[in-house]
Amino acid sequence: MRKFINRPQDFVTQSLEGMAAAHAGRIVVHLNPTFVRRADAPVKGKVALISGGGSGHEPMHAGFVGPGMLDAACPGQVFTSPTPDQMLEATRAVNGGAGVLNIVKNYSGDVMNFEMAAELAHAEGIRIANILIDDDAAVKDSLYTQGRRGTGTTVLAEKICGAAAERGYALDQVAALCRRVNLGGRSMGVALSSCTVPAKGSPTFALSENEMEFGIGIHGEAGRQRMDLRTADEIAEMLATSILDDPAYSRLTREWDAARGTWSEVELVSQPFQKGDALLAFVNGMGGTPLAELYVLYRKLDEVCSKRGYTIRRNLIGSFMTSLEMQGASITLLRLDSETIDLWDAPVHTPGLRWGA
Amino acid sequence: MRKFINRPQDFVTQSLEGMAAAHAGRIVVHLNPTFVRRADAPVKGKVALISGGGSGHEPMHAGFVGPGMLDAACPGQVFTSPTPDQMLEATRAVNGGAGVLNIVKNYSGDVMNFEMAAELAHAEGIRIANILIDDDAAVKDSLYTQGRRGTGTTVLAEKICGAAAERGYALDQVAALCRRVNLGGRSMGVALSSCTVPAKGSPTFALSENEMEFGIGIHGEAGRQRMDLRTADEIAEMLATSILDDPAYSRLTREWDAARGTWSEVELVSQPFQKGDALLAFVNGMGGTPLAELYVLYRKLDEVCSKRGYTIRRNLIGSFMTSLEMQGASITLLRLDSETIDLWDAPVHTPGLRWGA
Nearest to B155 by CA among B347, B35, B318, B357: B318
Q: Which residues pair with B145 in a beta bridge?
A: B142
d(CA A103, CA A158): 7
Helix (H) or strand (E) holding A20: helix A11-22
Q: Which of residues 260-299 of B touch A (CB under 8 A)?
A: 287-299
Q: Is the pLDDT of residue B113 over 90?
A: yes
Which residues in chain B touch residue A218, judged by CB atoms under 8 angstroms apart?
none
Distance (Å, whole) CA A59 – CA A199? 20
pLDDT at B222 > cutoff 80? no
Are B192 and B328 in contact, with CB atoms under 8 Å apart?
A: yes
Report the pLDDT value the prediction gives residue A117, as an integer from 0 to 100.
98
Q: Is B317 on the interface with A (CB under 8 A)?
A: yes
Looking at domain B187-244+274-336, its CATH superfamily turns out to be Dihydroxyacetone kinase; domain 2 (3.30.1180.20)
CATH 3.40.50.10440 location in chain A: 12-184+249-269
Answer yes or no: pTM beyond 0.90: yes
Using pLDDT thresholds of 50, 70 and 90, give the confidence band for residue A34. very high
The CA–CA distances, whole Å, from B5 to A40, A209, A333, B8, B13 equal 44, 14, 21, 7, 11
Quote the CA–CA distance of B30 and B89 in Å, as a whole number.
9
> Is A240 in contact with A257 (CB distance < 8 Å)?
no
Q: Give this complex's ipTM.
A: 0.97
At B163-194, the pLDDT tens digits run 999 999 999 999 999 999 999 999 999 999 99
pLDDT at A280: 98
Contact B2 A209 (CB under 8 A): yes
Q: Tell me the pLDDT band of A29, cut-offs 50, 70 and 90.
A: very high
Q: Give the pLDDT band (50/70/90) at residue B221.
A: confident
Q: Do B289 and A322 touch (CB under 8 A)?
A: no
In this predicted structure, what is the pLDDT of residue B302?
98
Q: What pLDDT is attached to residue A258?
A: 87
Greater confidence (A345 vs A258) lies with A345
Contact B16/A325, CB-based, under 8 Å? no
Please list the alpha-helical segments (H only) found in A197-283: 232-244
Q: Do A192 and B3 touch (CB under 8 A)?
A: yes
Kindly identify which residue of chain A lies nearest to residue B191, measuring between CA atoms.
Answer: A2
What's the pLDDT at A219? 87
Mutant choice from A1, A2, A231, A300 vs B, greatest count of B C-beta within 10 A: A2
Residue A290 CB contacts under 8 Å (≥ 6 apart), including other chains: B56, B58, B287, B288, B322, B324, B325
For residues A52 and A114, give the distance between their C-alpha atoms in angstroms, rounded to a whole number. 9
Mean pLDDT score of chain B, rounded to an integer?
A: 96
Query: What average pLDDT does the segment A82-90 reach?
Result: 98
- Residue-level pLDDT at A28: 98
Contacts of A289 in chain B (CB under 8 A): 4, 325
- Average pLDDT (B222-227) is 86
**Whole-number pLDDT of residue A155:** 98
Inform me whether the C-beta atom of residue B24 falls under 8 Å from chain A C-beta atoms.
Answer: no
pLDDT at residue number A351: 97
pLDDT of residue B217: 87
For residue A298, which residues of chain B lie inside 8 Å, CB to CB? 18, 21-22
Pairing of strands B48-55, B100-105: parallel
3-state helix vs strand vs coil in chain B, percent to 5: 30, 30, 40
- A188 contact B CB<8A: no
Among the listed residues B30, B57, B61, B349, the single catalytic one is B57
Flag whether pLDDT at A63 surpasses 90.
yes
| Cα–Cα distance list, A242 to A278, B22, B85, B181 (Å) | 18, 21, 43, 49
Tell me the chain B residues in contact with residue A240 when contact means C-beta distances shorter than 8 Å: none
**pLDDT of the residue at B223:** 79
pLDDT over threshold 80, residue B84 = yes
Smallest CA-to-CA distance from B332 within B108, B136, B117 is with B136
CA distance B1 to A230: 11
Average of per-residue pLDDT values in chain A: 96
- pLDDT tens digits for range A310-328: 999 999 999 999 999 999 9
pLDDT over threshold 90, residue A357 = no
Q: Which residues on chain B are in Cβ contact (under 8 Å) with A325?
A: 288-290, 327
Residue A259 scores a pLDDT above 90: no
pLDDT given for residue A189 in this prediction: 97
CB B155 within 8 A of CB B283: no
Tens of pLDDT, residues A134-158: 999 998 776 677 899 999 999 999 9
The answer to whether B235 faces chain A, any CB pair under 8 Å, is yes
Please say if the pLDDT value at position B259 is more than 90: no
Alpha-carbon distance values, B281 to A338, B94, B159, B211 (Å): 40, 31, 14, 26
- Per residue in A211-240, pLDDT tens? 999 999 888 787 789 999 999 999 999 999
Task: Report the residue count for chain A.
Answer: 357
Interface touch A15/B293, C-beta < 8 Å: yes
CA proximity to A329, closest of A294, A299, A300, A292? A294
Q: Residue B266, by phi and psi: left (phi above 0), alpha (psi -120 to 50) or beta?
A: beta
Supply the pLDDT for residue B258: 87
Judged by CB atoms closer than 8 Å, whether chains meet at B292 and A11 is answered as yes
The lowest-confidence range among A166-170, B40-44, B139-143 is B139-143
Residues of chain B with CATH 3.30.1180.20: 187-244+274-336
Q: What share of chain A is helix, strand, coil (3-state, %, to 5)?
A: 30, 30, 40
pLDDT for res A100 = 98
Question: B12-184+249-269 has which fold?
Answer: Rossmann fold (3.40.50)
Top-confidence residue, B147 or A82: A82
Helix (H, G, I), strand (E, B) or coil at A355: strand
Q: What is the reported pLDDT for A17?
A: 98
